[in-house]
A = this chain, B = another copy of it.
Amino acid sequence: MAINYQHILDSICEEVKDLLPKGKVADYIPQLSAVSPLQFGIAVYCLDGRTYTAGNAHTRFSTQSVTKLFALALAFSREGDKIWSRVGREPSGNPFNSLSQLEYEQGIPRNPFINAGALVIHDILAARFVQADIALLQFMRMLAREPGLDFDRTVAASEHQTAHRNYAIAHLMKDFGNLHNPVEDIIYGYCRQCSITMNCVELARAASFLSNHGSIPWDGTRILDYSSSKRLNALMLTCGTYDAAGDFAYRVGLPAKSGVGGGIVALVPGELTIAVWSPGLDAAGNSLAGVTALERFTTLTTRSIF
């Protein structure tokens, strides 16, 4: 029996309403703190092209750490397994911006989804492209089939002004020899990367190649080979949701990547991608309503990978 996705999304939208005021909107820059927490959007993109939406699925938001997924895909597609000499593949077991672990492990970040790892990935892109941030934006425009995607320059400037911890991380890696470009360039480009805005529909579509074993569903363009695509999904599952990856796998059971803007993108291999957005965060920095929505989705559809 076919699953009625529209019905499920509508139900979830209703169910999470009470949670919206309970999350805590990121407040380290004014642009994020000004977003109303009473918003929730959800979009499902099936590999046959059908798209289902509910709530604020067409409102753009700051994707923030969700961009780490696309940056990794771009770097991985160009450099292959070479990237693993500079960044690990293990869950961090620590808050996402910890310097202690980075120092203990000699400047090699635990995985590409903590800030340190994302800075290394940006550094790899910066060695490959004239402008890493623009190369990434163009890659994401192509994946989302949406040439209008863009940086939010006000957000990027604000992030840059408060990027002290990322500077600390970058300089520490520089000291260990694991950052090849100038610190200033990488931080600037990374702040731009994090400022890219998308809505749920665009985000679900942009990640669809990962549920399609590496190729874009509508035209077959291969981004990653079959095996690499599966491996990237594995990384999302073990490392994609900050220090709550174990709990997320337990509750939701899907590969996913989250951001402090309140967005999360997840996927059911071979079937669909799903994007949720709600700005209020839980203690681990993931969207409070978003995680619950995904948990309800896998329960109602029985579509966990386990």
Q: Does A124 contact B (CB under 8 A)?
A: no
Q: Does A169 contact B (CB under 8 A)?
A: yes
Q: Does A266 contact B (CB under 8 A)?
A: no
Among the stretches A8-16, A138-146, A197-205, A249-257, the one at the interface with B is A249-257
Name which of A168, A170, A174, A306 has the most chain B CB atoms within 10 A of its CB. Answer: A306
- Chain B residues with CB under 8 Å of A104's CB are 100
| Contact between B305 and A99, CB atoms less than 8 A apart | no
Interface residue count on the A side (C-beta < 8 Å)? 53
Query: Which chain B residue has the least Cβ–Cβ distance from A210?
Result: B306
Query: Which chain B residue has the least Cβ–Cβ distance from A299?
Result: B227
Q: List 24 A-B contacts (CB under 8 A).
A: A89-B246, A89-B247, A89-B250, A90-B243, A90-B245, A91-B245, A99-B99, A99-B168, A100-B100, A100-B103, A111-B246, A164-B174, A165-B172, A167-B174, A167-B183, A168-B170, A168-B171, A231-B251, A234-B250, A235-B250, A237-B238, A239-B246, A305-B305, A305-B306
Nearest first, the 4 closest Cβ-Cβ pairs linking A and B are A93-B93, A91-B91, A164-B175, A100-B100
